[in-house]
Every structure is written in C-alpha cells, then in structure tokens.
Copies of this chain bind each other. A is one copy, B any other.
Amino acid sequence: MNQIVYLVPLLGLIGLLVMAIKSAWVNKQETGDENMNRLASYIAAGAMAFLKAEWKVLGIFTAIAAILLAWSGTLVEESSPVIAIAFIIGAVFSATAGYIGMKVATKANVRTTQAARTSLKQALKVSFTGGTVMGLGVAGLAVFGLGGLFIVFLKMFNVVNVSSTEMKTAIEVLTGFSLGAESIALFARVGGGIYTKAADVGADLVGKVEAGIPEDDVRNPATIADNVGDNVGDVAGMGADLFGSYVATILATMVLGQEIVASSADGYNGFSPVLLPMVICGLGILFSIAGTWFVRIKDDKSNVQMALNMGNWASMILTVIASYFVVMYMLPDGVITLRGVEFTKMGVFGAILVGTAVGAIMSIVTEYYTAMGKPPVLSIIQQSSTGHATNIIGGLAVGMKSTVIPILTLAAGIMGSYYCAGLYGVAIAAAGMMATTAMQLAIDAFGPIADNAGGIAEMSQLPPEVRERTDNLDAVGNTTAATGKGFAIASAALTSLALFAAFVGIAGIDAIDIYKAPVLAGLFVGGMIPFIFSALCIQAVGKAAMDMVQEVRRQFREIPGIMEYKAQPEYEKCVAISTKASIREMMLPGAIALITPIIVGFVFGPEVLGGLLAGVTVSGVLMGIFQSNAGGAWDNAKKSFEKGVMINGEMFYKKSEPHKASVTGDTVGDPFKDTSGPSMNILIKLMSIVSLVIAPHIAVGGPGLEAEGDCCKKDKIEACADNHDMMGGKCDMSKCATMSMEECAQMCDSMGCDSMERAYCMSMYNDKGDYVGSCMSSCGKKCTSKEACMKNCGATCAAKHMGAGKACCADDAKCEKKEKGGACCKDKH
C-alpha cells in the first residue's frame, strides 16, 4: 500500500471544503422582508426542535448499542471493542449529515423565495446550491469518515497483510461505522417520514377539507409543521438514507475486496481491491462538483429539468471515464479470483458500467410510472371518473405493475455484474452507481427547498409571478423526487446484495440453501417483515394525523380570530405533536429491523439468517417500488387536475368529483411514498449490516451444518458420502466395511485400482486401522458442539473430522475460541 490511502480522506475533505464555500454563499443571499423571515424562522426552529428531540432518543440508543457492541467486540478475535467507537462516529456523522442538510435547506428556502422575486435563474441557483451543500456534505463526510477511520484502524491493528486476521479485524471494526450510520438513517427516515405525513395529512384534513382554506395558508396551525416536515422527511431523512447506502456500499465492496486473490501483484501490496471503491467514490465527489457547473439556465423560459439532467449526466459520464483509468491503474493485471470465480480488471470496469446502467434505468422507469401525462398516471385519472374506489384500484395496479421492469433490470444487473467480476462485481457495481451520490442528492434536496420556497411565498402573499417561478421549480422537484426514489431503491438493493455476499463470507458459510427447511422458513419470515414494517409505518401516520386533526380543530375552536388573521395560531403546538408522535411511532419498526436478525442469527445460525435476509431484500425491494410508485402516481394524478384533465371527452378541474376521488388516492399515497416506501431501503440495508456485524459471533457454534464451513470459505469439493462404493472407481469400497485396512488395500491392488482410488479406500480407515467409513458424513450432520462430536463419532472420528478440514475439535478449549476467528484449529492438535 502507498500514499493512495491518504488520497481518500483528502477527496472527502475537498468535498467538505467546497460545501463550506457554497454554504457561505447561500448564507450571503438576501432573505427578503420581515414577514418571510419570521415564517422561515418558525420552520427552522421547528426543524431544529424535531432534530433535538430525535437526537435525545438516538443518543440514548447509541449509548446502549455502543456498550453492547464494545462488550461483544471482546468476545471474538476478529472483532475489537473499538467497534463501539466506530459505531458512535458513524452515528454522529450521519446525524451531522442530516443536520447540515436541514440547516442549509431551512436557510435556502426563504432565500430562494427572495431570489424568485427577481428571476427563475437566480431562484434555481440558490435552491440548487442549497441542495449541493447537502449532497457534498453527505458524500464528503462519508468518504472522509470511512477513509480516515480506515487509516486509523490500519495503524491501530498493525495491518501489513491484506489477508491477515488483523485486516479482518480492521474491516470488521469499520462495519461499526456503517452500522452507526444506518441506524440513525432508519430512525431519521422513519421518524421523518411519519412527521412529514402526519403534518401533511393532518393539515389537509382540517385545513383544506373542513375549514376550506388553501394549502400553505398562515391561518392553518399545522402549516408550519407541514413545511418543517418537508425538511425533516425529504431532506434530513433522504440525506441520512443515502449517507447510509453510500457507506454500506463502499464497506461491502471493501469486505469482498479483502478476500480477493490475484495472480499477479498490484502496486498496493494487494490492497487495491479494498481501496478501489473508496477512490472511485472520492473521485465521484470531484465530478459531482464539476457537474454542478452544468446546472444553469438562461432566463425564465429555460428548461430547468434539462439543466439538472445535464449536470447529472455530466457527473455520471465523467465518473465512469475516470473509473476506467483508476481500475486499469490500480488493479493487478492477469487473473483475479474471489471465492472461486475468476475475472480480470476489465471485468471490474464492466461491472461498474452495469451498475451505472442499472441506476439510470431504475430512475427512468420510476419517472415513467409517476410522471404527469404518461400512460400510468393517465390511467389513474381515467379511473378517477368512476369514483374513489376505482381511483384506488387504479393506483394499486400501477404500483404493482411498476415492479416488473425494475426487478428485471435488477436481476439482469445482478447476473451481469456477477458475470463481469463475481461477487466483487456486484458490490463494485453498487459502488459505481453510488459514486455520484453528491450530485444525486443535490438534485434531490433541491426539490423540498423549492417546495418550501413556494410555501413561504404563499404564506407571505407575494405577487403571483414569484409563486409561478417557485411552482416551476417545485414541479421539477416532484419529478426529481421520483427519480431520486428510484435511485435510492436501486442503490439499496445492490448494497444489500453486496452486504449479503460480505455476510456470507464473514459468517463462514458457503451456501444459503433454501431447499433446507429452516432456511426456507427464514425466507418466509424475512419476506413478511417488510409487510409488518409497512403496516406499522402507515398506521403511525394515521394515528399521528388524528392527533394533529384534534389539535387543529381545538385551536380553531379555542383561539378566536385565527380565521380573520387577527390571532396567530400556536404553530409550535402542532410541531410538538408531530415531533412527539414520530419519535414514539418509530420505535417499534426500528426495533424489529434491529432485533430480528440478532435473534434469528443466534438462535438458528447464519444460514437461516441468510434466508431471512434474502426474504427481506426481495420483499422489501418489491414493496418499496410498489409503494413509492403507487404514491407518486396518485400524487401526480391529483396534480394533473390543477391544469384540467380530459376524461371521455369532458374536461375536469379542481373541486370536480373525479378530482375529489384523486385527492383520496393522493392521501392514501402520502404515507406510501414518503413513509413506508422509502423506509424499505433502510430496512433491508440495516438488517444486512446488523447481520454483518454479528457474523463473526454466529460464524461457529450455530446449530447444524453451518458451523463447519469455516475452513471451506474459499472453495470446496463435494463428494458422495453414501456412494462410497462409487468413489473408489474399480475398488468396491462398500466391501471394505467388513475388511481390515490391509485386506482392503489388498483388494484394491488385486482389482487394479489406481493410486487415487486406493487412497480413497484407505481414507476410510483411521490411524488405528479401524474402518470409519461414512463417519465424516454423519458427524458432519450432527456435530454442533465438541461434545456432540465426541459422542456421535468418538475421538477417532473427531480427529479424522478435523483432518478433513472440519472444524470439529476434540478437546482443545482454547481452540474453540480460535475457531470463531475463522482459522482452523489444525495447529492445535
């Protein structure tokens, strides 16, 4: 390894530096009149109130989890109590990423409104720069954190060899960083999602429906909470989500990279496959910064979407080109092998291409299914004409149908990237896709800033051309939100697969065989989890919205003069309700995600846990796509009525019966697309990471066959135990069962067996010359502990067992501990 390892945190620092400059620029912009500032300050204060409340709970959670992790780190050789520190840093970084995004978003919103008073160009510049700050903050913190910690751990554990136990420890400890990041992400996403939709639904139900006042009206007590929700859900939640994906993807690729065996040397002492994902993602930051230069428009007539697309494509293409040179420069020539699959560095680049293509296709498909004017949304509009029920049926059908192409794309992506570079290919494909996260997030975070800006314009009763400009930005923001969700779910799916592969390696199993009954049971239970998780999220929104409705009704009733603008509603009460409800309701789903893999892993072993993870991933991706797209399509079907829609030759506008039906769909879709749908991303990632963290603990000692694969991590041969008579070729081994070792040898010779056949026959005898025939196979099935092995097979067989590379130890207590570390106990006997 050489200086390149220091390049990684440096690239992260550059990202953070540019972020600071951009943030300062945003701060310098004008903030408009006093009224606007007052409203903006309410939103900012509400957002901070939520963050503080959330942090208090998460602080307690982090402290407890860190103590448990530190304790668990002492149990196995491959881990270390330091994992707790990595965990805390990950949690703090993730929270910081969310904080930065929220802080700048709550500043950029009012400044965008003010900028929109002059021109669309300026409004785009302010809002997109706000988004860029968020994107660079997330990516910069991730790359800086991972790269920096990696260097620290390399030194701390004195790593010199990439395949050493020390290196394994360093990587295992690094997973703590990812676990911390993803745990915070879960709560931020779920809590934020509940917050934003509780406020939104609550504000709409009383404000729009009962009181008949428009959206974003200052008289509505819940309107500030609604605007705060955009920030805590769409900005902080999304930021923490992608921060988690980004870190997890890089980490999973590092874990797999560490296992790689190359036929020729690289210039990095074998570390190049470990460093590669960090370097590519670091460069992705630079090219994301470069891409922001392309996001500019001329005047109010320019196409904002086009400008954003330009920036996106520019950073993607630049990153792919750069990846080619980085891969060629860093990776070794010749054959690279990972777990028996051979590939070349050209294959690795191919996998990166595949990953980028998967991300792009997922975004495009998501946009198709949720965009106004496209057939799916039009079909929902059409079905709104016959009432609420058919609108709902239409949206559900669109959501379900929208899973087809993404899943086929994902399946093709898995196979394609695996074909290119084995499991490392699957992981690096995800990393390639995630490399431009900074840009993706900039485009994504721009939407809620524009949305907020529009809200402030409305609440401050600014002239219509201002609202028109912010509406233009907001409309584009809706599309980018949809494509961003497509990107997020694709990244989560590939990340989970990479983590899945990493888990298999560390858990020491070499197969997850769903043909085994317990594994299949795990698959079923795993598949069910996204359903209960979604149900809990949806219910939480419903409950919290009810609380909000009661509070808004109370204020209208008890505070006279609200309707006449004479009295100001108690905004902070509504903010407090949303905050409290979201914190309360995020506990149970969060606990399910965190605890289920731990229970299943320790009770049923790593293979069943693998089945569980596969079930969660498949079902979670499906439910995520289904819910996000159904929600997005309903939303835009409703929005279509604002400009009027043609159904069976008749034009319908707002307040028409079909429009009312479309509002029902939108309300159902709200928790789908902003709470439960996007939570699926984190659910599947978090459960995979938890599994990865506990992998060394469950690797040996679980029941059944799982425990024994430890020595066989890299490759295995299979032979038929019950068909011993075949294995000897000409030698009829079945006859040996009744012969002494010498007699058997004589028989082999007399039958003209070759040396290999003879050796096989001989291997059926132990060193005392006793026939132990199928002992290995029956032991293999039953040896769950040293004692069981001794009991089932006897000492002789146990020893033979060990001789065959099995991890069944006869009598060395200390060896047992060593085994958990993955090394065989051969040298102890």
**Complex-state Cα separation, A504 to B516, whole angstroms:** 11
Residue in B closest to A762 when the chains form the complex, CB atoms: B759
Residue in B closest to A774 when the chains form the complex, CB atoms: B715
**Complex-state Cα separation, A802 to B756, whole angstroms:** 11
Residue in B closest to A406 when the chains form the complex, CB atoms: B528
Asked if A501 is at the interface of the complex by the 8 Å CB criterion, the answer is yes
Asked if A776 is at the interface of the complex by the 8 Å CB criterion, the answer is yes
CB distance from A465 to the nearest CB of B (A): 34
**Complex-state Cα separation, A826 to B408, whole angstroms:** 41
CB distance from A626 to the nearest CB of B (A): 6
Asked if A352 is at the interface of the complex by the 8 Å CB criterion, the answer is no
CB distance from A525 to the nearest CB of B (A): 5
Pairwise interchain contact B527-A718, C-beta atoms closer than 8 A:
no
Q: Which of A312-341 contact B (CB under 8 A)?
A: 340
Flag A683-725 by CB within 8 Å of B: 1 or 0 each.
0000000000000000000000000110110111111111100
Asked if A803 is at the interface of the complex by the 8 Å CB criterion, the answer is yes
Chain A, interface size category, equals 35 or more
Name which of A133-141, A557-565, A614-622 contacts chain B: A614-622
Contacts of A411 in B (CB 8 A): 521-522, 524-525
Contacts of A520 in B (CB 8 A): 414, 497, 614
Copies per assembly: 2
Contacts of A774 in B (CB 8 A): 715
Asked if A219 is at the interface of the complex by the 8 Å CB criterion, the answer is no
Asked if A383 is at the interface of the complex by the 8 Å CB criterion, the answer is yes
Known: A397-B535, A400-B535, A418-B518. A716 touches B777 (CB 8 A): yes
Of the residues B398, B423, B535, B665, contact of A401 by C-beta under 8 Å: B535
Pairwise interchain contact A524-B800, C-beta atoms closer than 8 A:
no
Of the residues B205, B536, B726, B728, contact of A387 by C-beta under 8 Å: B205
Pairwise interchain contact B418-A517, C-beta atoms closer than 8 A:
yes
**Complex-state Cα separation, A394 to B205, whole angstroms:** 16
Contacts of A760 in B (CB 8 A): 759, 763, 803-804
Asked if A590 is at the interface of the complex by the 8 Å CB criterion, the answer is no
Q: Which of A394, A665, A717, A765 has the most CB of B within 10 A?
A: A717
Asked if A611 is at the interface of the complex by the 8 Å CB criterion, the answer is yes
Residue in B closest to A766 when the chains form the complex, CB atoms: B756
Asked if A433 is at the interface of the complex by the 8 Å CB criterion, the answer is no
Pairwise interchain contact B727-A741, C-beta atoms closer than 8 A:
no
Known: A415-B517, A521-B414. A800 touches B401 (CB 8 A): no
Known: A524-B407, A729-B802. A668 touches B392 (CB 8 A): yes
Of the residues B524, B542, B626, contact of A410 by C-beta under 8 Å: B524
**Complex-state Cα separation, A403 to B728, whole angstroms:** 51
Pairwise interchain contact A392-B392, C-beta atoms closer than 8 A:
yes
Pairwise interchain contact B712-A527, C-beta atoms closer than 8 A:
no
**Complex-state Cα separation, A517 to B777, whole angstroms:** 27
Flag A399-431 by CB within 8 Å of B: 1 or 0 each.
011011001101110110111000100100000
Of the residues B412, B514, B626, B722, contact of A512 by C-beta under 8 Å: B514
CB distance from A782 to the nearest CB of B (A): 10
CB distance from A728 to the nearest CB of B (A): 7
Pairwise interchain contact B767-A717, C-beta atoms closer than 8 A:
no
Flag A179-212 by CB within 8 Å of B: 1 or 0 each.
0000000000000000000000000010001000
Of the residues B714, B722, B727, contact of A714 by C-beta under 8 Å: B722
Asked if A217 is at the interface of the complex by the 8 Å CB criterion, the answer is no
Pairwise interchain contact B717-A723, C-beta atoms closer than 8 A:
no
Asked if A390 is at the interface of the complex by the 8 Å CB criterion, the answer is yes
Asked if A289 is at the interface of the complex by the 8 Å CB criterion, the answer is no
Pairwise interchain contact B714-A716, C-beta atoms closer than 8 A:
no
Known: A514-B611, A515-B512. A754 touches B780 (CB 8 A): no
Asked if A389 is at the interface of the complex by the 8 Å CB criterion, the answer is yes
Pairwise interchain contact B717-A776, C-beta atoms closer than 8 A:
yes
**Complex-state Cα separation, A641 to B394, whole angstroms:** 26
Of the residues B390, B524, B668, B804, contact of A719 by C-beta under 8 Å: B804
CB distance from A382 to the nearest CB of B (A): 9
CB distance from A575 to the nearest CB of B (A): 22
**Complex-state Cα separation, A767 to B757, whole angstroms:** 9
Asked if A610 is at the interface of the complex by the 8 Å CB criterion, the answer is yes
Contacts of A398 in B (CB 8 A): 535
CB distance from A224 to the nearest CB of B (A): 22
Asked if A755 is at the interface of the complex by the 8 Å CB criterion, the answer is yes
Pairwise interchain contact A763-B754, C-beta atoms closer than 8 A:
no
Pairwise interchain contact A531-B711, C-beta atoms closer than 8 A:
no
Pairwise interchain contact B754-A759, C-beta atoms closer than 8 A:
no
Asked if A178 is at the interface of the complex by the 8 Å CB criterion, the answer is no
Q: Which of A392, A532, A718 has the most CB of B within 10 A?
A: A718
Contacts of A800 in B (CB 8 A): 756
Of the residues B393, B539, B619, contact of A538 by C-beta under 8 Å: B393
Contacts of A408 in B (CB 8 A): 525, 528
CB distance from A802 to the nearest CB of B (A): 7
Of the residues B386, B626, B708, B829, contact of A531 by C-beta under 8 Å: B626
Pairwise interchain contact B803-A757, C-beta atoms closer than 8 A:
yes
Of the residues B667, B671, B712, B802, contact of A718 by C-beta under 8 Å: B712
**Complex-state Cα separation, A539 to B800, whole angstroms:** 62
Asked if A781 is at the interface of the complex by the 8 Å CB criterion, the answer is yes
Pairwise interchain contact B803-A728, C-beta atoms closer than 8 A:
yes
Pairwise interchain contact B719-A717, C-beta atoms closer than 8 A:
yes
Pairwise interchain contact B781-A610, C-beta atoms closer than 8 A:
no
Pairwise interchain contact A767-B777, C-beta atoms closer than 8 A:
no
Flag A748-771 by CB within 8 Å of B: 1 or 0 each.
000000111111101101110100
Contacts of A522 in B (CB 8 A): 411
CB distance from A543 to the nearest CB of B (A): 10
Asked if A534 is at the interface of the complex by the 8 Å CB criterion, the answer is yes
Pairwise interchain contact A511-B515, C-beta atoms closer than 8 A:
yes
Flag A526-561 by CB within 8 Å of B: 1 or 0 each.
011001101110110110011001000000000000
Measuring CB to CB, which residues of chain A are less than 8 angstroms from any residue of chain B?
205, 209, 340, 383, 386-390, 392-394, 396-398, 400-401, 403-404, 407-408, 410-412, 414-415, 417-419, 423, 426, 497, 500-501, 504, 509-515, 517-518, 520-525, 527-528, 531-532, 534-536, 538-539, 541-542, 545-546, 549, 610-611, 614-615, 618-619, 621-622, 626, 663-665, 667-668, 671, 708-709, 711-712, 714-723, 726-729, 741, 754-760, 762-763, 765-767, 769, 774, 776-777, 780-781, 800, 802-805, 824, 826, 829
Give 28 CB contacts A-B under 8 Å.
Answer: A387-B664, A392-B664, A393-B542, A393-B667, A396-B535, A396-B538, A396-B668, A398-B535, A404-B528, A404-B531, A407-B527, A411-B524, A414-B524, A419-B517, A510-B515, A511-B513, A512-B515, A513-B514, A514-B514, A514-B611, A527-B622, A714-B722, A717-B719, A718-B805, A719-B805, A754-B767, A759-B762, A762-B762
Ranked 6 nearest A-B pairs via Cβ: A754-B767, A418-B517, A389-B667, A400-B535, A411-B521, A720-B805
